Structure 1
Amino acid sequence: MADSIELLFNSLPARPQSLARTRSHVWNLLFKPPGVVRLPEPRLGKRGAALCCGALDSKKAAEGDVFSVTSSSKSVVDYLGESTKGDLNVKEEHLEAFGVDGQATLDGPIEEIAWKEAQEADTLLNKLGIADPLSVRHSPHGIFCSRTLNLRSISAIGYDMDYTLVHYNVMAWEGRAYDYGMANLKGMGFPVDDLKFDPDLVIRGLIMDKEKGNLVKADRFGYIKRAMHGTKMLSTREVSEIYGRELVDLRNESRWEFLNTLFSVSEAVMYMQMVDKLDQGVVPVELGPLDYKGLFKAVSKALFRAHVEGQLKSEIMAEPERFVEPDPELPLALLDQKEAGKRLLLITNSDYHYTNKMMHHAFNRFLPNDMGWRDLFDMVIVSARKPEFFQMSHPLYEIVTSDGLMRPVLKHAQHEGDKAKYLACTLGGLYSGGSAQMVEKCLDIHGDEILYVGDHIFTDVSQSKVHLRWRTALICRELEDEFNALIRSHGHKSALVQFIQQKEIVGDLFNQLRLALQRRTHSRPAQTLGATNMDDQELTESMQKLLIVMQRLDQKIAPMLEADGELFNKRWGYLSRAGLWDKSHLMRQIEKYADIYTSRVSNFLHYTPFMYFRSQEQTLAHDAHSYSSREINGVAVGDVR
């Protein structure tokens, strides 16, 4: 093999004139079938030997003979404001050793060089069978960027566990949580025997109105677009009569409860079903006078007991295969990150025994060379008590035995020259409690050098961003179903948009004729000479015809709007949208607090640990490109997409 590699690289041109030519030459040698490629006579000169020894020696490249990595002390920010820490640089002396002049190699207008190199890079990716990031982004397994993020500048990546590193089957996990919660409600005297778990009743991102017993979906501004009382969806008119222009304010926690995560599904289903029971008057009077707020407290208490008493988690630990959906690519994605020099952290609210069992089941069988899940992480923190973990400091305990025995952790001195830092934790440790500030001190990195990945928009993403300025990633498994639903509903949406555009054009003409009629009744000329000269009967008949057309279009548009998104959820539509054109309140939260978001952690495997995520253009109402030229009856018109 070594002889083959030496022959290959000794056959390269002595002084390549361009990177494209060099790459093409190597490509032909590597991938053209036998009989097609003619190998030149090998040259064993000094230059060829240097190229052979240096260009393919990955060990030397990794050790820094070929490349250098920008350190924290030398990093600056690029033109997008991202740190250049971790960027790879070519050493000039290495190029000179090969007889390659960096400037001469890329001689010529950069526009031409960039175009050619991009074309050849795309071709090479295709031949290697590697999907480019653009293609991956336009798939259910894409990583979507709200705020530009350079992964190369990230020194540590922290992960939540539940519904992040370990994904549960919602029907199984939340179904059992529902069963235990309902059993507790029954023990309290509530009538629950005829009720069953219905996960399609709610979706993440909805908001419970504890004053009115409603579940609502709000847009990015907080206006309520859809609502359900108990398990009955309310009509558009009913929503308008109940809420008018009232805005959802999540700061009013006594009234509004946001469904941040899939863990909220069982609670919301229980509450809405019990609202029906309360309205039906079948809740025993012995339970006292209950309003919708009191009912919510009873439901929350019943579900909290189900979690605290431990029966639910004991059942899951006994049969994890029933509840955990395996993801063979997940451990490999984290392994890539670790080998790229990222320090990996596990920070979870779950206790040690549960964490160890779930992580062992989800990871160990997919790791190479007898690795265990603990080998992936530089630090593991259980019972973290998020969101307080990001807000304040709690005592830190080290878990010192396999059965979970703990001891308090005292600060110790770490000397660096004449200076000493007093740290509470060390790398490789297994801890309980503590705080994010302790983690930063231990790693000696702060703020935007840390990326935290979790599924809870408030506990994981919002609080780490607000209090510490950590970079953030949200895991939202439902994105895969939503992406596929959007693809399948493309025809429906296109037809709906076409009807709306037709109504806008017809409506524009109707409004102009109405204005002309208004001016005529006040003995004033219309907008144009042609409109002024229209016959009274022609004007009236045209308006009548247009009005009938618009009414018929409304009859077509209304049910289509109602059905938009039903391929994702028949009651609530899409997760990320509120109506045809606007974003949901959940999507607004994601854009505000999550730098990137995706459906599962293993999607990182389709990218690299060196990926530079760039946020997409945010379309504004006045953007010129939002207009397109269309023709109706041969006349070009401008319409807003």
Structure 2
Amino acid sequence: MEAQEAEHLLNHLGIPDPFSSRYSPRGIFCTRTLNLRSISAIGYDMDYTLMHYNVAVIRGLVIDKEKGNLVKADRFGYVKRAMHGTTMLSTQTLSEMYGRELVDLRKESRWEFLNTLFSVSEAVAYMQLVDRLDEGAIATDLGPLDYKGLYKAVGKALFRAHVEGQLKSEIMSKPELFVEPDPELPLALLDQKEAGKKLLLITNSDYHYTEKMMQHSFNRFLPNDMTWRDLFDIVIVSARKPEFFQMAHPMYEVVTGEGLMRPCFKANSGGVYSGGSAQMVEKSLGIQGDEILYVGDHIYTDVSQSKVHLRWRTALICRELEEEYSALVHSRGHRTTLIELINQKELVGDLFNQLRLALQRRSKGRPAQTLAATHMDDKELNESIQKLLIVMQRLDNKIGPMMESDGELFNKRWGFLSRAGLWDKSHLMRQIEKYADIYTSRVSNFLHYTPFMYFRAQEQTLAHDSYSFHHPNHQDADEEQ
């Protein structure tokens, strides 16, 4: 009764309950239970985490540097879709090329996982140049190149553009052309700060870029002449992640607006620093491990490394989730029809197999599994088998194109971000579940919750489960609870 009263009060205040927030494109999804009350400090990455750039792409694919292919794998590493250069490969070619191979991300010399939106631009350039290489149109001054050498050349060219500052100076000159503003984001951080959380900014970007871009993205949305600097207890630029989480580097304090630095050994509240290490941050704050939540967009650099080396709690930002969620909702009818057809084929296929077994037993002079099958004559058995073959072929003709088009509402070539095929999770989703305690589309989604939220992981179903709390037959029981 008291729980019901609380629910009525939430409704009266016009606040959605936390469970309804979970079922929305802007929800925060939990893979490992996380109590925000036990979090003392929250660290944030900047690019694609606190700041989103205008992009229209998909991450989670893998480059095969040996074959010049871009592939999508399921959670076990089996390749489900692939393209060579800019041409999608047929199912048969896929089977011939990858039938005996698994994607193994530990073999870095061959596989490159596109786990950030930064890496996608590299893949786009590379796949177009694979076409050029196949045509013999790559400049001879680069020397004889195979697909692996070509990937290295593309990486060098993009790295040079970053290091020389061409890209960043263009973005800084007109940030409004590149950055998608989010007025709710600074307010979400303000709630966390006022709730007593120490906020940290830990970015690989340099001081001048960080200052300019944070000023553009935050200051106009903060109250009472606050600036972005007032939100953060510690700001660390040029952090050199993932090394930042793995080893100690010298730390420098930024002491002037022009970016002049001096060596230091401890970070103080309100300071801006360059370099250093995660251990230095823990020492300066007097907290460590699972008291710190780190929020970033990079599965490896941000999430897995802070989790593996320091046992920090982790949150992954994946903007594509919003579009994916909507596409999944709009695909429900398509998927329901597809599953019905697959179930029909399974039923027909089972009958076909039973009749086939009856024929097999008969040829050995043994009775069929049932009296009715034993009494069928050879002609009747063979005719039934032929009819069932025709029905299965018709079902296949319907199922095939529907399987091919599954997920095209999200991405016409690659399907859903989180799925690989109808039933299984993608390789990216497996990485997210493994390393991210919670994941969501943008940092401002925290505004729909409180800084004291208890995120509870959902029930994990197993293949042999006989009972599910979400089964339609148990709907009444759910409502009573």
Q: Sort the TM-score into its range (normalised by shorter chain).
A: over 0.9
d(CA) in 1 for partners of 2:116 and 2:24? 23
Map of 1:72-91 to 2, 5 A cutoff?
A: none
The whole-number CA distance in structure 1 between the counterparts of 2:36 and 2:203 is 22
Q: Distance in 2 between matches of 1:330 and 1:248?
A: 37
Q: 1:468 to 1:375 in 2, by over 3 A?
A: same
1:111 matched residue in structure 2:
none
CA distance in structure 1 between the partners assigned to 2:148 and 2:359 by the alignment = 55
Distance 1:620 1:356, change over 3 A: same
Give SS of 1:204's match. Answer: coil
- Give the Cα separation in 1 of the matches to 2:407 and 2:38: 38
Residue number in structure 2 paired with 1:415: none
User: SS of the counterpart of 2:180?
Assistant: coil
- 3-state secondary structure, aligned to 1:338: helix
1:160 match: 45
Q: Is the 8 A contact 1:223 1:245 kept in 2?
A: no
**Higher radius of gyration, 1 or 2:** 1
Match of 1:498 in 2: 340
* Cα distance between partner residues in 1 of 2:451 and 2:415: 35
Alignment length (residue pairs): 472
1:332-371 equivalence runs, <5 A: 332-371=187-226
- How many angstroms apart in 1 are the aligned matches of 2:346 and 2:338? 12
Q: Which residue of structure 2 lines up, in the alignment, with residue 381 of structure 1?
A: 236
1:141 maps to amino acid: R
- Give the match's secondary structure for 1:425: coil
Partner of 1:119: 4
Name which of 563, 567, 579 aligns with 2:405. Answer: 563
Structure 2 residue runs of 5 or longer lacking an equivalent are 474-481
Aligned equivalent of 1:618? 460
| Residues 234 and 267 in structure 2, CA contact (< 8 A), matched pair in contact too | no
Question: Which residue in the other structure is 2:281 paired with?
Answer: 439
In 1, Cα distance between equivalents of 2:19 and 2:472: 28
Aligned-pair CA distance for 1:244: 1.2
Question: What is the match of residue 81 of structure 1?
Answer: none
Matches within 5 A, 1:121-200: 121-170=6-55, 199=57
Instruction: Write the deviation string for residues 450-482 of structure 1: whole angstroms up to 9, x where unpaired.
Output: 000000000000100010010000000000000
Displacement over 3 Å in runs of 4+? 625-630
Letter in 1 for 2:343: Q
The residue type equivalent to 1:551 in the other structure is Q
Match of 1:586 among 409, 425, 428: 428
Q: How far does residue 286 in structure 1 lie from its aligned partner after superposition?
A: 3.2
1:140-539 → structure 2 map (5 Å cutoff) = 140-170=25-55, 199=57, 203-410=58-265, 424-539=266-381
Q: Deviations over 1:66-125 (max 9, x none)?
A: xxxxxxxxxxxxxxxxxxxxxxxxxxxxxxxxxxxxxxxxxxxxxxxxxx1222222221
TM-score between the two structures when normalised by the length of structure 1: 0.72
Q: Distance in 2 between matches of 1:395 and 1:523?
A: 83
| CA deviation after TM superposition for structure 1 residue 628, in Å | 7.8
**Within 2, Cα distance between the matches of 1:392 and 1:307?**
24
Secondary structure at 2:213's aligned position in 1? helix
Report the residue type matching 2:40 in the other structure. S
Q: Return closer, same or farther for 1:629/1:530 CA change in 2, 3 Å cut-off.
A: farther
Write the letter of the residue equivalent to 2:34: L
The one-letter amino acid of 2:29's match is F
Deviation for aligned residue 1:285: 2.9
CA distance in 1, matches of 2:177, 2:138: 34
8 Å CA contact retained: 1:160, 1:454: yes
Q: Looking at both structures, which has the greater relative contact order when contacts are Cα pairs under 8 Å and sequence separation is at least 6?
A: 2
8 Å contact 1:214–1:228 — kept in the other structure?
yes
Deviation at 1:404, TM superposition (A): 0.4
Corresponding position of 2:478: none
Distance 1:117 1:501 in 2: 44
**Deviations for 1:380-432, whole angstroms, at most 9, x for unmatched residues?**
0000000000000000000000110000004xxxxxxxxxxxxx222221100
1:57 alignment counterpart = none
Q: Post-superposition shift, 1:629?
A: 10
Partners of 1:269 and 1:250 in 2: how far apart? 20
Quote the RMSD (CA, aligned, Å).
Answer: 1.3
Q: Which moved more, 1:241-250 or 1:443-452?
A: 241-250
Q: Aligned AA for 1:507?
A: G
| Equivalence for 1:46 | none
Check 1:499–1:602 CA distance in 2 against 1; reply closer, same or farther (3 A cut).
Answer: same
TM-score (norm 2): 0.96
The secondary structure found in structure 2 opposite 1:442 is: helix
State the percentage of identical aligned residues. 81
- Give the Cα–Cα distance (whole angstroms) in 2 for the partners of residues 629 and 162 of structure 1: 42
Letter paired with 1:610: F
CA–CA separation in structure 2 for the residues paired with 1:386 and 1:610: 29
